[in-house]
Amino acid sequence: MYYLSEQQRVLAEGARDKACPFGEDINLDAYIHDPDHDQVPTYDELVAEERETLVKAGFDVGDHDRAASFLQVNHAIGHCCRKVEGVEVMPMRQALELYDSLPEYWWQAVDVDADKYTAKVALDFDNGYFIRALAGTKTTLPVQTCLFMSSEKVLQNVHNIIVVEEGAELEIISGCATSHQMKQGLHLGVSELYIKKNARLSFTMIHHWGEEVVTRPRTVVQVDEGGTYISNYISMKKVRSLQMYPTAYLRGRGGTVRFNSVVAAPAGSHLDMGSRVYLSHPECRAEVISRAVSFGGDIVARGHLVGEDPAVKAHLECHGLMLSRRGLIHAIPELEGRAAGVEMSHEAAVGKIAREEVEYLMARGLSEEEATSTIVRGFLNVAIEGLPASLQKDLDELMARSNEGGM
Amino acid sequence: MLTVEDLWVDVGGKQVLKGVNFEIPDGRTHILFGKNGSGKTTLLLTLIGFSAYEVVQGRILFKGIDITRMPVNERVQLGMGVSFQRPPAVRGLLTRQMADICNRSGADYKELAERLNFTDFLDRELNVGFSGGEMKRSEMLQLMLQKPDFIMLDEPESGVDIENMHLIGKVASELLERHLNRTRKRSGLIITHTGYILDYLNADLGYVMIDGAIVCSGNPYQIFSTINEKGFEECANCTI
């Protein structure tokens, strides 16, 4: 409560039961939020137990080739270190203390009363990370973060802020994962990203949740003049329910944003996800590319581009591949031109693998299974380049299952 | 090498091949002529085993083995190879990755790609936005790496300019070991409309296919000359 103004608190209280228009409405009371009594493993214990899981979420436990690392386990900070100058990485609570509640950034992009999930994070805030690249800093190594859940039925409320100051360039790999022993859990994550003038942020988020986990990330990105935001989102593993609609506001001339997402939905997964971009200044550019593969799970792939200045360009692409007789892929691309002269386009396609392509590869010696896997991998690789080796392995395992479900 | 016996094939429920018979011995290159829609591509895709081509009667023997019901990749492992007329675009798969799939021996193909004037295309998605000529060079590169014993080329010259035609012709000749005489092992079946490829192959025998059946066979150069002079109708009466 300390971290909310009275007005924010009233708004959050009023939104306690405010359902989100998208995705399943989650009963928050079904999860346990008890930071004082939660048994959180130490970083060393966790590393021994969950090394592989962390690696699959893109987290290098030895901090090798990383500019900084941040790990939160349930409600507690598991690990936080920094190896380079010019980049601040610290727990959110520490940043709020240090910088007088960060009035420029704290709840300035995301509304506390957007829905019951933002309200919950506001009212029962655990922690999160604060990352800032100071003006002009250009790091060659990425910062890594991981939000980890390890207790059964745990509710994790996280609030993150990332600031990339003028002229700075930063790369972040952010993993979200659960202990292999844990089945159910709820992750609520508010992220506010501020890309200042001529700054650049590449943000790769890898979800590696437990099969019965529910997650509701809430992300808003503000991009100033000449700034660039690149988001890569990857989720290859079953997750019971994910709903998110990250939104970027291009607030100055020449702002650029690209959302790439690659998701696979095994049977039992329900993903409702998309990206929204407001282009309100000249020469702003946006590209939203998604690749969705259903192995029997449900995927709603949304996208919404709003052109508010005549000199903007934007493109939206939702491609889906059905690899099972069951499951759903529902592509919902939306374009909203609010000024004469906008150039906005979209393409959406949902289908199965073309038999002709499979046999073409078989005619070069691949078995039917190998040919199918190769095509699916290619389909997904369109959006994400340079996938870490550990993720590629996950992807390969999924591919091997591509003939399940009556293909 | 290849024996086709009384082959009847349906495509989408429609009868396309109607009792095709022929034989290609080791080391021989045969040419298949025919109008558009006569069934030439259907024959090639049936020989390689594509599932849309249903063999309703007859059989295909390759190296003495009945491959009529064999999956595509097993035919390829036995030594068949094909250059497609219109190969599909495969998004996200780089041409280099496809070349690696074909290159089972792990040979260095840098020089070969350069010869085919194709180096710049290796890091492009396979057949995505390729011109007709680029597709053909890609197909020839793949076949050169695959090193099949029996080579099928479906209109290797379509969409290829004169300069690249020379290149394709030389590579096809090399692939079919036309420079060898007694030691030549590889065989081929080539579909051609324009006949340009004939200049490079010194082919052994030609067939004319009309309405799903082979109506005539003989010297391929003589057949081509007759088709040019008198059209396919004359072949139906087979004056050669």
For residues B47 and B92, the answer to whether their CB atoms sit within 8 Å is no
Closest CA to B16 of B49, B45, B38, B47: B38
Q: Which domains occur in chain B, in start order?
A: 2-85+149-237 (3.40.50.300)
Measured CA to CA, the distance from residue B202 to residue B173 in angstroms comes to: 9
Distance CA B160, CA B126 (A): 18
Nearest residue on chain A to B94, alpha-carbon basis = A378
Q: Reply yes or no on whether the pLDDT at B232 is more than 80.
A: yes
Out of A365, A379, A382, closest to residue B73 by CB: A365
Task: Answer yes or no: do A363 and B72 touch at CB < 8 A.
Answer: yes
Coil, strand, or helix at residue B225?
helix
Chain B residues near residue A356 by CB distance under 8 angstroms: 50, 88
CA A259 to chain CA centroid, nearest Å: 10
Burial label for A49, CB within 10 Å (0-12, 13-18, 19+), is middle
Q: What is the pLDDT of residue B106?
A: 87
Least confident of A85-89, A118-122, A395-399: A395-399
Q: Which of A357, A359, A381 sits opposite B72 (nearest CB)?
A: A359
Range of lowest pLDDT (B5-19, B53-67, B168-182): B168-182
Q: How many residues does chain B have?
A: 240
Per residue in A221-233, pLDDT (tens digit) is 999 999 999 998 9
pLDDT attached to residue A402: 44
Residues 6+ apart with CB under 8 A from A194: A105, A109, A161, A162, A163, A164, A221, A222
CA atoms of A84 and A233, how far apart (whole Å): 26
Predicted confidence (pLDDT) at residue A399 exceeds the cutoff of 80:
no
Confidence of residue A405 (pLDDT cuts 50, 70, 90): very low
**If you average pLDDT over residues A162-170, what whole number do you get?**
97
CA of A357 to nearest chain B CA: how many angstroms apart?
6
Please give the Cα distance from A102 to A167 (Å, whole number): 21
Per-residue pLDDT tens digits for B64-97: 999 999 999 999 999 999 999 999 999 889 999 9
Average pLDDT, integer, range B150-169: 89
Burial class (CB in 10 A: 0-12, 13-18, 19+), A76: middle
Q: Which percentage of chain A shows pLDDT scores above 90?
A: 74
| Closest CB to B51 among A355, A371, A380 | A355
**Mean of the pLDDT values across residues B153-172?**
88
Checking if the pLDDT of B233 tops 80, the result is no
How distant is the Cα of B73 from the closest Cα of chain A, in angstroms?
A: 5
| Sheet with B2-11, side-by-side order of all strands | B14-24, B2-11, B53-62, B65-66
| AA letter at B119 | T
**CB A274, CB A303: distance < 8 Å:** yes
Kindly give the residue spans of alpha helices, DSSP state H, lying in A104-238.
Answer: 116-123
Which residue do the tokens 């691949």 mark?
A366
pLDDT value for A396: 60
Mutation for testing the B interface, residue in A262, A347, A356 having most B CBs under 10 Å: A356
Query: Does A80 contact B at CB distance below 8 Å?
Result: no
Structure tokens given for B130: 């390729």
- Quick check: A1 pLDDT over 50? no
Give the tens place of pLDDT for each residue, A330-358: 999 999 999 999 999 999 999 999 999 99
Please say if the pLDDT value at position A392 is more than 80. Answer: no
Six-digit token string for B232: 């396919």
Question: B164 or B11, which is more confident?
Answer: B11
**Region label for A295, one of left (φ > 0), alpha (ψ between -120 and 50) or beta (otherwise):** alpha
Q: Which residues pair with A183 in a beta bridge?
A: none
What is the H or E stretch that residue A375 is in?
helix A368-381
Check B92 against A354: CB less than 8 A apart.
no
Q: Residue B5 forms beta bridges with which residues?
A: B59
Side by side, the strands of the sheet bearing B80-83 are B80-83, B150-154, B187-191, B29-34, B205-210, B213-218
User: Residues of B near A (CB-CB distance < 8 A)?
Assistant: 48-52, 71-73, 76-77, 81-82, 84, 87-88, 90-93, 97-98, 101-102, 104, 125, 142, 146
* Contact criterion met (CB below 8 Å) for A154 and A181: no
Phi, psi dihedrals of residue A73, rounded to the nearest 5°: -115, 120
Compute the mean pLDDT over every residue in chain B, rounded to the nearest whole number.
92
Beta carbons of A363 and B76 less than 8 Å apart: yes
Cβ <8 Å between A363 and B48 = yes
Q: Which of A48-62, A285-299, B33-47 has the lowest mean pLDDT?
A: A48-62
A contact residues 357-376, partner B, Cβ 8 Å cutoff:
357, 359-368, 371, 374-375
CB spacing of B92 vs A377 below 8 angstroms = yes
For residue B98, list chain A residues with Cβ-Cβ distance below 8 A.
Answer: 361, 364
Which one of B86, B91, B109 would you mutate to disrupt binding with A, by most A Cβ within 10 Å of its Cβ? B91
- Is B73 within 8 Å of A368 when comparing Cβ atoms? yes
> At CA A91, angle to CA A86 and CA A93, rounded to 5?
120
Give the nearest partner residue to B90 out of A357, A363, A368, using CB atoms: A357
pLDDT (tens digit, 9 = 90+) per residue, A276-321? 999 999 999 999 999 999 999 999 999 999 999 999 999 999 999 9
Task: Using pLDDT thresholds of 50, 70 and 90, give the confidence band for residue B207.
Answer: very high
Q: Which residue has the tokens 């497609």?
A: B84
